Amino acid sequence: MGPEATLARQKPHQTCCQLALGHVPACIQADRHAQLSKDIMSEQEKVTDNLTQGASTQKTAAGAATEAEAAAEGDNANAATNEPGFEDLGLSEKTLAAVRDAGFTKPTVIQREAIPHALQRKDVLGLAQTGSGKTAAFVLPMLTLLEKGRARARMPRTLILEPTRELAAQVYDAFQQLGKHHKLKVALLIGGVSFEEQSRIIDRGADVLIATPGRLLDHFERGKLLLTGVEILVIDEADRMLDMGFIPDIERIVKLLPFTRQTLFFSATMPKEIQRLVDQFLHLPVRVEAQPPSSTAESIDQKLVLAPADEAAKRAKLREVIDARKENIRNAIVFANRKKTVGILLKSMLKHGYSAGALHGDMDQYERLETLQKFRDNEITFLIASDVAARGLDIPEVSHVFNYDLPTSPEDYVHRIGRTGRAGRKGEAVSLVTPEDFRILAAIQKLIGKEIPWEGEAPSEEDIERVRARKRGRSGRGGGHDKEGARRGGKGRGRSGALASSRGGAEEAAAQTGRVQAREEGGRKRRRKRKGAGGTSAQAGDAGRAEKGAQKGASESRRKVSGNGDGGKGKKSDNKPAAFDETNMPAFLARPVERE
């Protein structure tokens, strides 16, 4: 019962008492009035206390419910954030100790998903963008699995295939760091290094063999390597292998391996050709996707800058873009499509006072490693590189990536900008776009599934359509000019063209015959001279006259064959024999002749 109802019930009771008190003496009336007022006040205090206690009870219950809900939400949040650590993935104690020493605390998505399946000896197909920790995703389980067993001479236990020397060297460094508590022998087979030194390492036996496909096949063909003992095969950056044309070599290598091997296959993109290799190499693989294929990290701020087509003006635009970010650039990679462009950019940036170095495929291996080390040590601020540096190179804390040229393949764009924003760090990627790049830009945006914003002036849809129309028109006009030129030149078009072609061929044949005859005559004269027959001066004169006569005969032959013997007036030639017949015709001019 509420307080209002209780007070309303007391009001009529109090009125009746007052009416009754009017018939008693005043003293008694006062005493009774005081007593009644005291009782009424006491009863009101009880009601108020009950109401307060009820409200307090309700408040306490509501507070308890709220606290329970908060606790439940906290438990759910803790459960959501309580992701498994490296200790929960099944790695050995030696491997965990190396992980702790390296400063790793939590595994990435690809590591958390791939390592348990790899430890169970299952084939794994890993799809993740660059900078997601794919290297540790196969290095850590391999270290745990290789603790049992021993390597034999020339028979590696595991094989890791990498597309470039830099990637192979990076994986080698990862084994040196994470495998410091293991007594494993790791061999590195890459180009630019002596065969003998690599052969000595293989002869002693290797637990882990890291190689590029070309150098691996070179050792195998020399009989220095046996692949029948390989237990684990790792194919890293498979899409890059496809771009570099290594797929036939990989198919040949896989045929040399045992059928019972375990295969770990990693790629950032998934073209149809890569899917065919997966179906061919892997048996019931576990598919692990850290991010959708061909996606870019959200930590990378991507920008487009409209640039002129002229190369000098384009280089000036690049310097302008760099200067606008000078305070925020810790180090940066500038990508170009051609090695020649890399060299030109390097000279230009050095000329304008930038700290820069170059990296491309024609450099010696030691020069490439030295340049990379200088860039890691911040001795070089700008690394100008071709796509050799676009895949898998783990250069920490690259703050910016500049695409001087848009890559010809949309997948390469994903790998290029993946050099920044690694391991959750913030990064920025700026691409210079000329009007000729609009088509490849559309393919890139379609691949990554989002529009890249423009910085500064942006081309309109009319500009883009005008460039496309100009390309189509140029292509059509070019084809027309080629056809018209062919018609005018008579090359393979109609009877007149065939006649001109045959006539030109005959003239050339006659000239060739004259030159051959002149050389033969000169050779005979020189032989007679060496034998001492006749006077030296006379022989020289005879040889000169013979050579002049041979040249005159060749000229006469050309005129006769062309049918313009008399000063080019178009008169028919007489029936004199040609400069050559069946007996003296050169072999390369001989062909069947129809006779009646």
pLDDT in tens, 435-469: 889 989 999 999 888 899 999 888 877 777 776 66
List phi, psi (to 5°) of 117.
-70, -35
Which pLDDT value is given to residue 487? 41
Q: What per-residue confidence (pLDDT) applies to 252? A: 94
Taking the C-alpha atoms of residue 545 and residue 7, their distance in angstroms, rounded to an integer, is 151
CA angle, 308 then 331 then 310, to 5°: 10
Rounded CA-CA distance 515/538 in Å is 23
Q: Are 272 and 420 contained in the same domain?
A: no
DSSP label at 122?
A: -
pLDDT of residue 174: 93
The pLDDT value recorded for residue 492 is 40
Residue 414 has pLDDT above 80, yes or no: yes
pLDDT at residue 17 greater than cutoff 50: no
Do 135 and 218 lie in one domain? The reply is yes
Same domain, yes or no: 283 and 307? no
Distance, CA of 554 to CA of 220 (rounded, Å): 58
Among 469, 496, 525, the domain boundary falls at: 469
The confidence score (pLDDT) of residue 49 equals 55
Amino acid symbol at 300: I
Whether residues 251 and 311 fall in one domain? no
In this structure, of 46-60, 318-332, 363-377, 510-524, the range with the lowest mean pLDDT score is 46-60
Residue from 358, 374, 120 nearest 262 by CA: 120
Share of the chain above pLDDT 90, in %: 39
Return d(Cα 593, Cα 237) in angstroms, integer.
60
pLDDT band at 46 (very low <50, low <70, confident <90, very high): low
What is the pLDDT, as a whole number, of residue 508? 57
What's the domain count of the chain? 3
The pair of structure tokens assigned to 151 is 């390597």
Q: Which residue pairs from 221-227 have beta carbons closer than 8 angstroms and sit at least 24 positions apart in sequence?
A: 222/195, 224/154, 224/199, 225/154, 225/156, 226/154, 226/155, 227/155, 227/156, 227/159, 227/253, 227/256, 227/257
- What's the CA gap between 109 and 443, in Å, rounded? 28
Q: Read off the DSSP letter of residue 422.
A: G
What is the pLDDT at residue 555? 56
Q: Do 307 and 285 lie in a common domain? A: no
* Position 288 pLDDT exceeds 60: yes
In a domain, 563, yes or no: no
Conformation bin of residue 377: beta by default, left when phi > 0, alpha when psi is -120 to 50? alpha
Answer whether residue 595 shows pLDDT above 90. no
**Average confidence (pLDDT) over 588-592:** 51
| pLDDT band of 125, cuts 50, 70, 90 | very high
pLDDT in tens, 485-540: 444 444 444 444 443 444 444 555 566 666 767 777 777 777 776 666 544 444 44
Domain assignment present for residue 54? The answer is: yes
Q: How far apart are CA 132 and CA 82, in angstroms?
A: 20
Structural domain of 371: 300-469
pLDDT of 241? 87
Place of tokens 């061929």: 505
The C-alpha atoms of residue 133 and residue 111 are separated, in whole angstroms, by: 7
Looking at the structure, do residues 128 and 200 belong to the same domain, yes or no?
Answer: yes
**What's the mean pLDDT in 256-281?**
90
DSSP secondary-structure letter at 519? Answer: H
User: Degrees (nearest 5) of the Cα angle 452, 456, 460?
Assistant: 70
Mark 567-594 as b/e (b = at least 16 C-beta within 10 Å). Answer: eeeeeeeeeeeebbeeeebeeeeeeeee
The pLDDT tens digits for 207-259 are 999 999 999 999 999 998 999 999 999 999 888 888 788 889 999 999 999 99
Q: Give the CATH number of the domain where residue 321 resides.
A: 3.40.50.300
- Give the mean pLDDT of 566-594: 51
Same domain, 173 and 32: no
Quick check: is 184 in a domain? yes
- In order, the DSSP letters of 454-477 are B-SS---HHHHHHHHHHHHHHHHH
| CA pair distance 429, 186, nearest whole angstrom | 36
Query: Residue 215's pLDDT is what?
Result: 94
- Give percent of the chain above pLDDT 70: 64
Query: Residues 129-175: pLDDT tens digits?
Result: 766 788 999 999 999 999 988 888 899 999 999 998 888 999 999 99
Same-domain check for residues 121 and 213:
yes
Residues 122 and 15 in one domain: no
- Note whether 283 and 306 are same-domain residues: no
DSSP string, 289-353: ESS-TT---TTEEEEEEE--SSHHHHHHHHHHHHHHTTTT-S-EEEE-SSHHHHHHHHHHHHHTT
**pLDDT on residue 10:** 44
* DSSP class per residue in 99-115: HHHHT--S--HHHHHHH
- pLDDT on residue 157: 95
| pLDDT reported for residue 41 | 57
Res 240: pLDDT:
81
Residue 196 sits in the same domain as residue 140: yes
- Contacts for 132 with CB less than 8 Å, ≥ 6 apart: 108, 109, 110, 290, 291
* 113-135 b/e (C-beta count within 10 Å ≥ 16 → b): bbbbbbbeebbbbbbbbbbbbbb
Burial class (CB in 10 A: 0-12, 13-18, 19+), 267: buried
At which residue do the structure tokens 């180090």 appear?
331
Last residue of a domain, one of 254, 289, 324: 289
3-state secondary structure of 567: coil
Q: Where are the alpha helices (DSSP H) in 134-270?
A: 134-145, 165-178, 195-203, 213-221, 238-243, 247-255
pTM more than 0.75? no
Q: How far, rounded to the nearest angstrom, does the alpha carbon of residue 315 sit from its chain's CA centroid?
A: 24
pLDDT for position 472 = 57
Residue where a domain terminates, one of 54, 75, 96 = 75
Instruction: Give, to the nearest 10 degrees, the angle between helix 134-145 and helix 165-178.
Output: 50
What's the whole-number average pLDDT of the chain? 76
Residues 348 and 411 in one domain: yes
